[in-house]
Amino acid sequence: MNRRDALRIIAACVAGGGAALARAGARVLAVRAWPGRESTRVTIEADRELRFVVSSLSDPERTVIDLNDVQADAAFQKALETLRHDTGVLTRARIGQFRPDTARLVLDLKSRVDAAAFVLPPAGPYQYRLVIDLTPLDADDPIATFLTKILEREAQLERAAAEAAARAPAPAPLPPVLPAKPAPLPPIATRPTPPRVIRPYVVVLDPGHGGEDPGAIGPGGTYEKDVVLPIAHAVRQYLEQDRRFVVFMTRDEDVFVPLGERVRKARSVNADVFVSIHADAFTRPDVRGSSVFTLSERGASSANAKWLADRENQSDLIGGVRLVGRDPMLAKLLLDMSQAITHAESLKLGRGLVTELKPVGRMHKGNVEHAGFAVLKAPDIPSALIETAFISNPEEELKLRNPAHQLRLARAIGGGVRRFLATQPTRS
């Protein structure tokens, strides 16, 4: 065999090996489900981008995902075993080899759903992911439910005002003043005074991260998403002890909510104030203390503020957002709308939060900082973001896991909100 023939054989072997690798297809690494009342999210993680077809079947209700160039092998079966069944709208998941080059994943469902699927590139700790969002068609609309709650609270406030007026002593009658020359007066047409409608203040609390996006992770393994949610629940409980306040949470369970959706929800319920609650990390474990941020009109107030904002704004990459029909230039225009009045009110809100948080523990900085957090970009809602502590600090991580400390933080946050709203006119 001469040298040319040997090289030809080697080239053929390399080409054959490459073809074999191409035929190997994607390898499924994990399958996860995140249940929620509004929707259930299923993610399939693989070592390369998945090609897929989604369809729906009825009697019984099922969503079917055909995965091209994927084998329903032992690794896929094992990944599927970790899926939490009977969760949200999902009752069971099963996999089979539909065709030699196609694996079929069948999701058995409790009810009819709107199934939407999209792919995500590698982000954070994850490789390529296929995301399937299952939204029940008969699910309650949380925004409509909350607006009904506002009407009920208004009725409570009106009844309380009427009862207080009935209990008030009647004013003493004034002595009559008789004219020098009595003359008949023409009747005066009067209209009944409409009852005054007293509207409660609407506070939107935004616990950061959720679902597949854990947020920052402490040295002891504590997830940011798991500590900010109970703090937000405690703030809601504290504020709603006063009937003048009604609280909406952008998430009240372990689900992922895109940053823009958090702002949209706040505007949908006509929020008077928006507070985003976090417990972030930094590159050094000795950094500690609470911080309060408002939106920067220009640059961040410190290098640390910019680092935190950049990190928080990556949540959509990790949690996964389906961008359909979004004009990037229009989105940027909407986010960059003039906020002069809102910025001033946000600063007032931030100062009140700093005042209330100082007695609870050390502040990272004793004043309100500014950075370009995406969740603070509602153009018409006073908004602030709180870093309750640095979860990357071992001591502060332990505090954040302590229910008593969570309650102290919640009362401080609620106190800051009350302090701010006390300066606002009564909603009527």
Beta bridge partners of 134: 40, 115
**pLDDT at residue 80, rounded to an integer:** 86
Cis peptide before 195 (omega within 30 of 0): no
Q: Which of the two residues, 82 and 332, has the higher pLDDT score?
A: 82
For 25-136, CATH number out of 2.70.180.20, 3.40.50.360, 2.60.40.3500, 3.40.50.1820 equals 2.60.40.3500
**pLDDT at residue 370, rounded to an integer:** 84
SS3 411: helix
User: Closest by alpha carbon to 350, among 376, 313, 315?
Assistant: 376
β-pairing, 383-387 vs 291-295, is antiparallel
**pLDDT at residue 18, rounded to an integer:** 42
For 201-320+330-421, CATH number out of 3.30.70.380, 3.40.50.720, 3.30.420.40, 3.40.630.40 equals 3.40.630.40
The token pair at 332 is 């940027």
Please provide the average confidence, as pLDDT, over all residues in the chain. 82
117 neighbors 55 (Cβ within 8 angstroms): no
Mean pLDDT calculated for residue range 254-266: 89
β-pairing, 113-120 vs 201-207, is unpaired
**pLDDT at residue 181, rounded to an integer:** 62
Residue 394's pLDDT band (cuts 50, 70, 90): very high
Distance in angstroms (rounded) separating the CA atoms of residues 368 and 349 = 10
pTM of the shown model = 0.78
Helix axes 403-421, 394-401, angle to 10 degrees: 80
The token pair at 148 is 């009904």
The token pair at 296 is 């920067």
**pLDDT at residue 338, rounded to an integer:** 42
**pLDDT at residue 24, rounded to an integer:** 61
**pLDDT at residue 232, rounded to an integer:** 97
Domain ranges of the chain: 25-136, 201-320+330-421
Give yes or no for residue 29 having a pLDDT over 60. Answer: yes
Burial of residue 163 (CB within 10 Å: 0-12, 13-18, 19+) is exposed
Which of 82-86, 289-293, 347-351 shows the lowest mean pLDDT across its residues?
A: 82-86
276-325 pLDDT, tens digit each: 999 988 888 888 999 999 987 665 445 555 555 565 666 655 565 554 44
